[in-house]
Structure 1
Amino acid sequence: MCVVTARADDGPAGCLVGFTTQASIDPPRFLVGVSKKNHTFAAAESATHLGVHLLARDDLELARWFGGQTGDEVDKFAECQWHAGPAGTPILDAAPAWFVGNVVDRFDLGDHVGFLLNPVDGQAPEEPRAWVSLSDVADLEPGHEA
């Protein structure tokens, strides 16, 4: 599970996503799936860059916050520390690992759109961590249905 963020005209947007994968080693590519019904989708559609954040299990409540609320109704970023990263992309300060990628392409995947990213900057974890996984949030009622 990752939190994906985007810079929108009306402020930062972000959501918890479960569909992510490395897609190529050379050139480096990463694929993120964002639900078309999600508030963050509108921001991602017009964004040139997206942020992808790994959260440690000690930050499970932050993951649940980004997955259980919708930006249509709540300013998720008012409840957490963040800063503008490369291309103005919102970076969550609590994330021990993150990267920003420029959007290379977009693919219709059904109820999700796949954003193919070329990583341009990031931060690796300083020490091994237990990351938030699907089983940690399986009971979460999403801010929007998928």
Structure 2
Amino acid sequence: MFVVTAQADEIAAGCLVGFASQASINPPRFLVGLSTKNHTFRVAAGATHLGVHVFDTRHLEVVRMFGSQTGDTINKFDRCSWHSGPAQTPILDDAAAWFVGEILERFEMGDHVGHLLEPVGGSPPQELEHWVSFGDVRDLEPGHEA
């Protein structure tokens, strides 16, 4: 599971994402699917970059907050520690690893829109972590319908 962040027009947004994958080795590419009903999707529509974060299970509460709340009703960034990264993309300080990718293309994928990213900066994990997986969040009530 990934937490994806975006910023456009001075509005920061972020959500929990399950549809994401490496898409190419050379050149490096990563694919993120954002639900069209999601606040983060609407902010990302005006963004040039996305932040992609993985979390250790020690910080499961941050992941659960990004998955169970909607930016339509709360400011998630008031409830966690973060800083501005490459291209002013919000970077979550509790993430075990993260990267920022420039959005190269957007395309429809049913009820999600794919964002093809070219990594431009990031921070790899410092040690082997116990990554948050679907099993850790399967009981979440999403902040919006899928």
Fold agreement, TM-score > 0.5: yes
Deviations 1:66-101 (A, max 9, x none): 000000000000000100000000000001100000
State the 1:46 CA deviation: 1.1
Residue correspondence of structure 1 range 126-141 to structure 2 within 5 A: 126-141=126-141
Match of 2:87? 87
State the Cα RMSD in Å. Answer: 0.6
1:52 maps onto 2:47 in alignment? no
- Secondary structure of the 1:74 match is coil
1:4-47: CA deviation from partner (whole Å, max 9, x where unpaired): 00012242100000001000000000000000000000111111
Indicate yes or no: 2:53 matched with 1:65. Answer: no
Q: Which residue is equivalent to 2:7? A: 7
Runs of at least 4 residues off by over 3 Å: none
Conserved? CA contact 2:55–2:132, under 8 Å: yes
| Whole-Å separation in 2 of the counterparts to 1:115 and 1:45 | 10
Q: Which residue of 1 aligns with 2:78?
A: 78
| Distance in structure 2 (CA, Å) of the matches to 1:58 and 1:133 | 12
Gaps of 5+ in 1: none
Supply the AA of the counterpart residue of 2:144: H
Kindly tell me the number of residue pairs found equivalent between the two proteins.
146
TM-score (norm 2): 0.98
Q: 5+ unaligned residues in a row in structure 2: which ranges?
A: none
Q: Whole-Å Cα distance in 2 between the matches of residues 128 and 65 of structure 1? A: 24
Q: What is the match of residue 103 of structure 2?
A: 103
SS of the aligned residue for 1:129 comes to coil
Note if 1:23 corresponds to 2:23.
Answer: yes
Q: Percent identity?
A: 64
